[in-house]
Amino acid sequence: MRAVDLSTVTWRKSSYSNDDGGECLEVADHLPLVPVRDSKNPTGPALLFEAGAWASFVAGVKGAAEAR
């Protein structure tokens, strides 16, 4: 697999996150792959997901949250 340069992407944190440094993920939008990283470790590694797989994951999380 070739390296992906993420140095110029704009990361965003979930709107459900707060500023207390909790367990948060950041994602970057509008790319062929969706990079995801730990907000507490912005210089650490990022996982890359195909957009369809990431959308399915997010939909599943939202569905589980709504079912509570």
Mean per-residue pLDDT pooled into runs of 10, the chain (68 residues): 84 76 82 90 92 93 86
The predicted structure's pLDDT at residue 26: 92
pTM: 0.78
The predicted structure's pLDDT at residue 47: 94
Sign of CA dihedral 16, 18, 22, 26: positive
Structure tokens at 50: 């195909």
The predicted structure's pLDDT at residue 50: 93
- Helix, strand, coil: what percent of the chain each, to 5? 25, 25, 50
